[in-house]
Amino acid sequence: MNVNQQTPMASPYGQPQPGYGQPSYAPLGGGYPAPYAPYNGPASAYQHGAPPQGPARAPPTSAPPAVSSSQGYSQYSQGDIQNGPPPVAQPMQRPAVSQPYTPGAMNLSGPHPSYPQQYAVPPSMQQVTNQMTGMQIGPGPPPTPAGPGYAPPLTSQPPISAAYSVAAPPSYTQGPPPVSADPPQPPPHSEAGGPQPYYGGPPPPQQTFPPSFSSAGPPSQAPGQQQSFPSGPPPVPQSTYTGPPPPTAQTSFPPPPSSQASSFPPTAPPSTAPPAQYPGPMPPPGPPSQPPFQSGPPPQSQLPPTSMAQANHLPPGPPGAMQQPPPQSGMQGGYPPQQNGAFGQVRGPQPGYAGQYPGQPSYGGPAPAPAPAAPSQKRLDPDSIPSPIQVIEDDKAKTSEPFTTGVRGQAPPLVTTNFQVKDQGNASPRFVRCTAYNMPCTADMARQSQVPMAAVIKPLATLPPDETPPYIVDHGEGGPIRCNRCKAYMCPYMQFIEGGRRFQCGFCSCVTDVPPHYFQHLDHTGKRVDCYDRPELSAGSYEFLATVDYCKNNKLPQPPAYIFLIDVSYNAVKSGMVNIVCQELKTLLDYLPRENPDTDSVVRVGFITYNKVLHFYNVKSSLAQPQMLVVSDVSDMFLPLLDGFLVNVSESRVVIESLLEQIPEMFADTRETETVFGPVIQAGLEALKAADCAGKLFVFHTSLPIAEAPGKLKNREDKKLVGTDKEKSLFQPQVGFYGSLAKECVAQGCCVDLFLFPNQYVDVATLGVVPVSTGGSIYKYTYFQAQADCERFLNDLRRDVQKPMGFDAVMRVRTSTGIRATDFFGSFYMSNTTDVELAGLDCDKTVTVEFRHDDKLSEETGALMQCAVLYTSCSGQRRLRVHNMAVNCCFQLADLYRNCETDTIINYFSKYAYRSVLTTPTKTVRDTLVNQCAQILSCYRKNCASPSSAGQLILPECMKLLPVYLNCVLKSDMLLPGGDVSLDDRAYLRQLLSCMDVAESHLFFYPRLLPLVKLEGDSLPVAVRNSEERLSKGGVYLLETGLHLFLWVGANAQQELLLNIFGTPTFSQIDPNMTSLPILDNPFSQRLTEIVESFRAQRSRYMKLMVVKQEDKAELIFKHFLVEDKSGSGGASYVDFLCHMHKEIRQLLS
C-alpha cells in the first residue's frame, strides 16, 4: 500500500522512471514506487501524507524495506503490491523528486517505484523491467540502495503505486516493461503504468475482452486472477510464500525478467505514453496478452504485446515473481535487493514473466487464453496485489516517534499502529481522523476527485495512560470566550491583534474584543505570552467548564441516573439472563462511573422489570424490603412512584441487594411469554423526567414486543424481500412510534442501551431506533445460553456500565469559511442541520462528519474545523469539550491523493453505504460505492499518474488498499447477505457500524489473522492476509474481527502446538465448543492468553472465542471472515474485484 501511496513518488519517477523501472513499476511495482514516493514525501515533505511515510519508511527502508521489500519484493515479484512497499522505502529519498513527479508520477509512481527499485537494483533494469519486480524491488531493496538516487523517481512513484488497481497482469506486463524500462526507463514508466496496469493489464484483456480478466479470472478466475494477481503481490507479502513455489517461479522469473525486461522496456517506452500503450496494447493484449503471457513466458510474446502482454501478462509475471519472492521472502532484506535484482531480473523476466507464466502456469492454471502458461499468468498472483498486511507493517515500522499534532495537514500513522500522540495544537487522531489531510481548495477539485472529505470524530475517546487527557479550562462566570460571529470557542487558531486587545477568528475572520480578564500581552511573534500556559491557546483538545447559560432551562444539571430495565418473561428467565443480570448488578453497582476514583459515584440507580406489564421497585433506604409497583396500563406509561425509585447505591445497598436477590425468585415460575418494549423505554424516560435529570437506560430484552401496547410490533421478517427493491423497508422501523419516542428521549437526555437476547426475529431495525437516536448501543446475544455466553455478556455489561460518558450532549462542528459540515453519521438525533444531539455520548461513540465546499479554501490558511461537544459529565458537571483540527488545502490533485487515509475513507464509505440501504436498493448502494471508488482512482490516474498504458492499474499510494477494503465493505453481511444472515443480524451490524471509529471499522472489514507459531517476547506475530491460501494445515491461527475471536486449528497442527494450547496432543480431542482456552503452565499458553486478553481489552465489545477446527462445520463461519477470498454469498475475491475495479476505471478513462 505504502507503495501505492508512494505513487506520488512514482510520478516523479514516472518522469524519470519512464526509463527506469517504470516498466518494473508498471507492474505492481509501479504502485510500490508510490510508496516510495511517500517516503520521498517525508523527505521532501512531499505531501504530508507522503512525508510521514517517507521518514518512517525511509529509515525502515533499510530495515523495513527488508521487510517491506521482502514483502515488497515478494510483492513485486508477486505483485505490484509489494512494489508498493518498496517504493516507500525509496520514496523516502525521492520525495523531492516525487513531488515534482507526483503529477505525472501518480501514474508513474507505479512505475517510478520500480524505478527506484530499479535504481536500487541496477539490475533493476531487469528488475525494473519487471515492473513487478521493480515494484517489489522498489519497495524492498530499492529503497535502501536506489532509494536515494531514485528518490526522485520514487516520489513520482508513490502516487503511482496505487496502480495496483490494474490487474495483476499488468504488473506482469509491467514486469516486463520494467525490464525494458530499465533500459529505457521512460518506457518503463509507461510500463510502470503498465505495471499498475498490471492489473490493468488484465483489465486490458478485460476491456478488450472482459474475458481477458475472465481469462485471467476465468481460468481460475477468481482464483486465477487473484492468484495471478495476487501471485504478483503475494510474492511480496508472501515472501513468506517463499516457501511455496517461489523458487521455481523465481527461477523462472528471473530468466523471464531479462527477457521481459527487454520486452518491458519496450513497454516502458509506452510508459511515456502509457495510455497509448495501454490502449494499444491493451486491446491487443487482451487476446495477445494472454498469448503474450503465455508467450509471455516466452519473452517474445511479451515483447510484442509488450504493452498488452505486459499489461496482461505482467500480472502473471508478477506471480511468477511472487513465487520467486517467496523464496526471497525468506530473506526479506535480501529480497528487496534480490528481488530487485531478481525481480528486476524477474521483471526482466517479465519477459521472464513469460517464463514466469510458464512457471506460473501453476498459477496460470487460470490463464485461460494462454494455454497453460497463459492461465497461470492470468491468474493474478494475490501476492502481487497490494497487501493490507504489508501496508500495516510498513506503517508500524516507520512509526517510532510520538506523533505530534502541531504540523498542519500531517497525516497520522495508521490506526493499526501503536503510537503516542503529543497534542501540540490539533486534536489527537484518537479524537479526530480525516479522510484527507490536504483538502482540495475548490469544490470543483473535490467533485473531480470524488474523494470524500470527512472527519471521524470520537469526542470522548479514552486516551492511553501515557497521554494527558484534555485539560479543563475555566473562563469564569462569563463562560468560554468565543468569536462574536460564528461563536467558535477560543482556540489556537485565534489570532490576537492590536497588542492582544482583540482577536481575529480563524474560522470566520471576525474580530472580537478580548474581555479584560482575559487580556494578555503579545510577544514579538504576535503570540500571547501566556500561550503555553493556556490549553485553549496551545492544545488541540481541551474542555471548558460551562456556565449556567449552557444548561437546560438555565439550571445546573442534576447528576445522571442509570435505570436497569430487565425483561422477566419466560424466555428471559429460562435462558438464565435474569439471574445473571441480577447477580452481576450486585457488584457492578459499585463501579458506576465517577470522576474521582476515591469518591462514591453520584449516579443514582433505579430498577424496573417487565414482561407484558412493568414492575417498578421502590428501594428507598428506609424500607426493610423493596416494594414492587406493577403498572399494567402500558398504553399510557407513567411513573408510579417518585421517592425511592432512583436511589444512591451506597445508601440503599441493603434494599437493592435484597431486591436483586428476589427478582429471579419471583419470576422463576413465570409463564408469561409476551413482552412490551415501547412502554419500557417510556417508563425509564418518565423516571428521568420526574427526577429532572439525564441518564441512561439499560434494557435487557428478549423478544419481539407483541403484547398490546404502544410500539407493538409484528413479525415482518420476509426473506423473499431480501435482494429486492423492497429490501430497504426491512431496515426501516415498522412503526413511527419509536421515532417520536427517541425524540422525547433525546430532549430529556435519556440514553438507551439495549441488550438483546433473542431466540428469533425481534426486529432490531425497529427496536434499535431509540438506542441509535439517543447515542446508545445495542448488544445482541442470539440464542443466549447462560453458560456459553455469560462471560461475553457480563464483560459487555461491565464495560458498558463503567465506561465514562457524557449526557445530554450537543455537538457542533464549525469550520473555516469555504467548507461546512453537511452530513453526519452515527448514533444521535438531529433536529436541525447543524446540531448533533446526543442523549448520551460514551467513550466509544464516533461521529463521522462529511464536509462540502461552499466556497474556496485558501492554501495559506488551510481548512480549520472545531468540534465542540457540550455535555454533562457523570458527576453532573456541565462541560464543553473542544477538538480543533487544521488541515492543509491544495490546488493540486496530487497533493490531495498524497494525503489521504484509506481507513478513514472506508469508514466514511461504509457508514454512507449502510445508511443508504434505508433509502436505496442494496444493489444500487453497492454500485454507487464501486463507481465512486472508480472515479477516485480514475481521477488520480488521469490527473496525477504518469502516463502509462491504459492496461495498467495505477493506484495512489495512499489508496492502494482502497479496492481491497472497499471489496470488504461490498461483501459485508449488510450489503451482500449470505443465506444464513438474518435480517436482525444485518440491522444489528448496520447500527453497530454507524458509530464505529476508524480502528474498529478497519478491523471489522479486514479482520486480523495472526499465525500462532512462535509467541515470543512482547511483539505479536506478523499477521497474514485474510485468505484461505494463507492458512497452513499445520498451523493454528487467531482471527480477530472486533466482534469475534476465532482460533483456527489446522488439521495437521503440530502436536506440540496443540499441547501448548489445548493440553492435548490430538486434533480430534479438541473440544470445538470451548469458549475459553485452558490455562496451561507453559509460556506459549500464557502468552496466547495474554494476547487474547489484550485484544479483548482493546475492543469496546467483548469478543467471544470460538475454536474452529479445520474442516469442521464451524469453519464456514470462520471462512466468512477470510475476506480476500470469494465469499459464500457471492462476494468477489480480492483479485476479482481488483480486476473489476480496473475495468471500471478504464471505462471511466476512456
Partner 1 sequence: MATYQEFIQQNEDRDGVRFSWNLWPSSRLEATRLVVPVSCLFTPLKERPDLPPVQYEPVLCSRANCKAVLNPLCQVDFRAKIWACNFCFQRNPFPPSYAGISDVNQPAELMPPFSTIEYIVQRGPPTPLIFLYVVDTCLEEEDLQALRESLQMSLSLLPADALVGLITFGRMVQVHELSCEGIAKSYVFRGTKELSSKQIQEMLGLMKPAASSQQGRPVAPHDAAASSCKFLQPVHRVDMNLTDLLGELQRDPWPVPQGKRPLRSTGIALSIAVGLLEGTFPNTGARVMLFTGGPPTQGPGMVVGDELKTPIRSWHDIQKDNARHLKKATKYYEALANRAAVNGHCMDIYACALDQMGLLEMKCCANLTGGHVVMGDSFNTSLFKQTFQRVFSKDYNGEFRMAFGGTLEVKTSRELKVSGAIGPCVSLNAKGPCVSENEMGIGGTTQWKICGLNPSSTLAMFFEVVNQHNAPIPQGGRGAVQFVTQYQHSNTQKRIRVTTIARNWADAQSQIQHIETSFDQEASAVLMARLGVFRAESEEGPDVLRWLDRQLIRLCQKFGQFNKDDSTSFKLSESLSLYPQFMFHLRRSPFLQVFNNSPDESSYYRHHFVRQDLTQSLIMIQPILYSYSFHGPPEPVLLDSSSILPDRILLMDTFFQLVIYHGETIAQWRKARYQEMAEYENFKQLLQAPLDDAQEILQTRFPMPRYVDTEHGGSQARFLLSKVNPSQTHNNAYGWGQESGAPILTDDVSLQVFMDHLKKLAVSSAA
Residue numbers at the binding site for partner 1 (CB under 8 A): 613, 615-617, 623, 625-633, 636, 638, 640-644, 659, 662, 665-666
Q: Kindly state the smallest distance separating residue 640's Cβ from partner 1, in Å.
A: 3
Nearer Cβ to partner 1 (530/672): 672
Nearest to 969 by CA among 916, 1023, 896: 916
Q: Coil, strand or helix: which one is 307?
A: helix
Task: Kindly state the smallest distance separating residue 222's Cβ from partner 1, in Å.
Answer: 54
Decide: helix, strand or coil at residue 515: coil
3-state secondary structure of 566: strand
The nearer residue to partner 1, 636 or 1093, going by C-beta atoms, is: 636
Name the residue nearer to partner 1 (CB basis): 662 or 1075.
662
By beta-carbon proximity to partner 1, the closer residue of 616 and 965 is 616
SS (H, E, C) 462-495: CCCCCCCCCEEECCCCCCCCECCCCCCECCCCCE
DSSP 281-294: TSTTIIIIIHIIII
Contacts with 1056 (C-beta within 8 Å, 6 or more apart), sequence order: none
List all residues 6 or more positions away from 28 whose beta carbon is below 8 Å from its beta carbon: 3, 75, 76, 78, 79, 80, 81, 82, 83, 84, 110, 131, 132, 135, 136, 163, 164, 168, 171, 174, 195, 196, 198, 199, 232, 233, 318, 384, 385, 386
In the complex with partner 1, the residue whose CB is nearer, 620 or 856, is 620
- 3-state class of 632 per DSSP? coil
- 567/582 Cα distance (integer angstroms): 11
Of residues 168 and 685, the one with the C-beta less far from partner 1 = 685
User: Minimum distance between the CB of residue 846 and partner 1, rounded to whole angstroms?
Assistant: 40
Residue of 267, 258, 273, 343 whose CA lies nearest to 305: 267
What's the CA angle centered on 912, arms 909 and 914, to 5 degrees?
105
Cα four-point dihedral sign 187, 188, 191, 196: negative
The partner residues of 614 in beta bridges, in order of sequence, read 610, 631
Output the CA torsion 87→89→92→96 (10° steps).
-20
**Closer CB to partner 1, 665 or 927, in the complex:** 665
Judged by DSSP in three states, 1065 sits in: coil
Considering beta carbons, is residue 309 or 613 the nearer one to partner 1?
A: 613
Report the residue number, 666 or 794, with the smaller CB distance to partner 1: 666
Nearest approach in angstroms of CB 629 to partner 1 is 5
Which one, of 34, 24, 128, 27, lies nearest residue 90 by Cα?
Answer: 34
**At a CB cut-off of 8 Å and minimum separation 6, what does 524 contact?**
none
CB of 639 to partner 1, least distance (A): 9
- Tell me the closest approach of the beta carbon of residue 692 to partner 1, in angstroms: 11
Rounded CA-CA distance 96/654 in Å is 71
Tell the smallest beta-carbon distance from residue 978 to partner 1 (Å). 38
Smaller CB distance to partner 1: residue 529 or 630? 630
| In the complex, least distance from residue 690 CB atom to partner 1, rounded to whole angstroms | 9
- CB of 63 or CB of 623, closer to partner 1: 623
- Other Cβ atoms closer than 10 A to 921: 16
- Any idea of the CA torsion for 1022, 1025, 1027, 1030, to the nearest 10 degrees? -40
Q: Distance (Å, rounded) from C-alpha 183 to C-alpha 186?
A: 8
DSSP 8-state secondary structure symbol assigned to residue 224? I
Residue whose CB is less far from partner 1, 654 or 788 = 654
Orientation angle between helical segments 7-14 and 33-40, nearest 10 degrees: 100
Cβ of residue 683: shortest distance to partner 1, in angstroms? Answer: 11
User: If you ran DSSP here, which 8-state letter would residue 279 be given?
Assistant: T
Q: Number of C-alpha atoms within 13 angstroms, CB side, residue 876? A: 14
Residue 525 or 553 having the CB closest to partner 1: 553
As a whole number of angstroms, the distance between CA 225 and CA 363 comes to 9
User: From the CB of 656, what's the least distance to partner 1, in Å?
Assistant: 12
Q: Quote the least distance from Cβ 627 to partner 1, whole Å.
A: 5
For residue 561, the minimal CB distance to partner 1 (Å) is 17
Nearer to partner 1, 623 or 735 (CB): 623
Q: Which three cell numbers stand for residue 436?
A: 484527507
Least separation in angstroms between residue 664's CB and partner 1 is 12
Beta bridge partners of residue 780, listed in sequence order: 756
Q: Measured from the CB atom, is 178 or 644 closer to partner 1?
A: 644
Q: Least Å distance between CB 625 and partner 1?
A: 6
Question: What DSSP string runs through 911-938?
Answer: HHHHHHTTTS-HHHHHHHHHHHHHHHHH
Assigned C-alpha cell, 48: 504530508
Measured in residues, the chain has a length of 1150
Q: Between residues 643 and 1081, which has the closer beta carbon with respect to partner 1?
A: 643
Would you say 637 or 975 has its CB closer to partner 1? 637
Min separation Cβ 688 and partner 1, Å: 16
Residue among 264 and 616 whose Cβ is closer to partner 1:
616
Kindly state the smallest distance separating residue 623's Cβ from partner 1, in Å.
7
Distance CA 166, CA 26 (A): 9
Q: How far is the CB of 617 from partner 1 (least distance, A)?
A: 8
Stated as kind and residue range, the H or E segment containing 872 is strand 863-872
For residue 642, the minimal CB distance to partner 1 (Å) is: 5
Closest to 225 (Cα-Cα) out of 385, 1, 3: 385
* Residue 22 CA, distance from chain mean position: 30
